[in-house]
Structure 1
């Protein structure tokens, strides 16, 4: 198996901590290690050698990635010259790997910003799902998680037929997808007991996913093939010109919505969370006795349920008589929001972009 760690995003829902020049995967949100380093360390033990890990990264962070993970070489970096969503990004992964890997190789494409509390359970999950793809190479498999709370920002997969009847690790055919449902419908899905949270992880046979891209996204595949060649030759300006022509679409829109052979594993043991939103970070980390989650020099009085983050030296944040807020202080931006709607910061980032205030992005 080859593993691709997707580290090309910017993480605008965690702005202003996550910025264009220092995105979230290079931050240590949980523990002392960055999210990228943590993800790398989690997957390496199940691989035959360290050369089986590839990292998809924006061209601006090639050296930063090599500094963060000195065990890898530049040959293991899949260089994105622009941010085009998961459809083009994962197509580029496929076109890059096609040049170096056996067509029957099984590929796992994983986000760099997942929180997983049980690494051993996760490693077992990857090995189990790898064996499924080896037996069923015409399937795409995605690990899914039983939801523990309502979140309208995720997609939910319905479990259909058990494709491993009688075996220990059940794998279900996906019988339906609800993409980012509204609050009421999301609660209904969770209460049904048959819908599971999509994690954004994918496993597939290289030859199969190549054929799917050729069939359903031929232009994207052809462009990404050229871009992969150009980035390998370090012709990044030409690669950027071509890659930026691609429409920003998700892998679901590009590929998985076009096939009915999607399977999902279900695990409640790995302790998964997507560390892409402030309110999720507060759920994952342990608040103090007042239910406040604090990082930095902060003084709190008669306040509870807040997430307060400061990266500004020689500055104290004093919070009085407010509940359930996100307060994120950086040297040039102070962001304050209700915690439950803090992911809406993405709209504010777009507004700053539209107003030409790129220095804050």
Structure 2
């Protein structure tokens, strides 16, 4: 199938939402987290666009912080990316989409059809989904900006709505109006009247058409996006958009920039299962419920509890005698609240972020990912810290040293290649090695399986910025 017949997916993966706290943090957003399935939301999105008969390899738009995480999760599902665009700073969806469109137009032509997808939505890609994709593709080729409207199953106040207009030859419809998130009474009125759909935030259009619409209704966004692509530089497998150019774009959504202004927009009414997973209540609704209506994940025991979501990433959670609650345990925090109130978790996160003693709980996660693997903080004491390091097969950490700490490494899985000073040694399971303070050292995984090490740090200062990188294959030295 030729490029003119296929679709180029553009996956937006730079968000830092905290509505699913405590599992989701600013440094570990929900698109890269497993919830009730064996894949992350980002990986599920990649899988939906993996059919070569319909899709070209995808383009991912993300941030500097998440670039290696996105690349590793794509590798895990075996999907080759056409490119990863790195946003220098957040400028909302209009700038990100315009930059992706300019990137595609330069390489594949302005007639290339783009499908813009969020990386953190839960979608059942059944026959109804792919039928909607085909209608949207035909409508986009006819020169329309296409959005997908989801048939509402309840009068939700958490979504914007689209009012459907007259039918188009492709099977799509003109858009009569966009409606901001309504109050409950207004949502009930719209459902009773009919013809209103949830605004899914999924789009399809040609690269040239969306750029022309941007130039008409949001010229500053278009100019900044084009310049950021023209001056972009390659870095390993990533494309760094030019920061000075990108920063000149207004911080505005694509809905506000063009979709609500142009008369050239169409909607595909869709009945496939969709959720933006914006609350724990949404996770519960999409999960597999037991006979009492409970959804569980991890180490849990429930007694006389019903209609609840109970998830643990660490300790065993025992929940007794509750109804309609969310109990979510990460490695370092637990959230308990009524499911029906879970859309207000953001208020709680703001309160935590405002206090010096709890602000870190909203930013950092005990598990941090790096291009070579990552680490989990297990315990922090006075002048010592314990971590679990995990190194991917064939990867190595930078050659580095620390001014304020010494380290003890114990191999618990796999085989490690350890450099200490001028000595390179093999460390096998149940063996250990000591790295003195100030000594150059490096850890590598020469094997075929994941390497796991327990690291015990001791010293007067144990933060991550006490790293002097001497050689680094990821360009961080």
Please give the TM-score of this superposition, normalised by the length of structure 2. Answer: 0.68
1:107 maps onto 2:114 in alignment: yes
Give me the whole-angstrom Cα distance separating, in 1, the residues matched to 2:230 and 2:25: 29
Do the aligned residues in 1 keep the contact of 2:85 with 2:240 (CA within 8 Å)? no
Do the aligned residues in 2 keep the contact of 1:56 with 1:79 (CA within 8 Å)? yes
Could you tell me which residue of structure 1 aligns to residue 100 of structure 2? 93
User: How far apart are residue 238 of structure 1 and its match?
Assistant: 8.6
User: How far apart are residue 223 of structure 1 and its match?
Assistant: 2.1
Report the secondary structure of 1:12's partner residue. coil
Could you tell me which residue of structure 1 aligns to residue 279 of structure 2? 277
Which of 25, 28, 34 in structure 2 is aligned with 1:19?
A: 25
Which of 57, 63, 85 in structure 2 is aligned with 1:78?
A: 85
Could you tell me which residue of structure 2 aligns to residue 286 of structure 1? 288
Unaligned runs of 5+ in 2: 1-6, 364-477
Could you tell me which residue of structure 2 aligns to residue 32 of structure 1? 38
User: How far apart are residue 354 of structure 1 and its match?
Assistant: 4.3
Could you tell me which residue of structure 2 aligns to residue 232 of structure 1? 233
Q: How many residues align?
A: 351
Superposed CA offset, 1:124-181 (max 9, x none): 32122111221x21x21111121111211111111110112xxxx7311111121100
User: How far apart are residue 106 of structure 1 and its match?
Assistant: 1.4
Report the secondary structure of 2:293's partner residue. coil
Q: Which has the higher contact order (CA 8 A, sep 6+)?
A: 1
185-194 or 110-119, larger mean C-alpha shift: 110-119
Which of 148, 154, 158 in structure 1 is aligned with 2:159?
A: 154
Could you tell me which residue of structure 2 aligns to residue 350 of structure 1? 350
Please give the TM-score of this superposition, normalised by the length of structure 1. Answer: 0.89
Superposed CA offset, 1:180-234 (max 9, x none): 0001111111111211111110011211111111122222222222333444344
1:46-195 superposed matches below 5 A: 47=53, 50-51=56-57, 53-70=58-75, 71=78, 76-134=83-141, 136-137=142-143, 139-164=144-169, 170-195=171-196
1:267 maps onto 2:270 in alignment: yes
Q: Which has the higher helix share?
A: 1
145-154 or 75-84, larger mean C-alpha shift: 75-84
Give RMSD over aligned pairs: 2.4
Larger radius of gyration: 2
Could you tell me which residue of structure 2 aligns to residue 214 of structure 1? 215
The 1:241–1:317 alpha-carbon spacing in structure 2 relative to 1, beyond 3 Å, is: farther
User: How far apart are residue 73 of structure 1 and its match?
Assistant: 5.6
Give me the whole-angstrom Cα distance separating, in 2, the residues matched to 1:358 and 1:84: 24
Report the secondary structure of 2:285's partner residue. helix
1:42 maps onto 2:56 in alignment: no
Could you tell me which residue of structure 2 aligns to residue 249 of structure 1? 252
The 1:256–1:318 alpha-carbon spacing in structure 2 relative to 1, beyond 3 Å, is: same
Do the aligned residues in 2 keep the contact of 1:66 with 1:73 (CA within 8 Å)? no
Do the aligned residues in 1 keep the contact of 2:102 with 2:229 (CA within 8 Å)? yes
The 1:99–1:46 alpha-carbon spacing in structure 2 relative to 1, beyond 3 Å, is: same
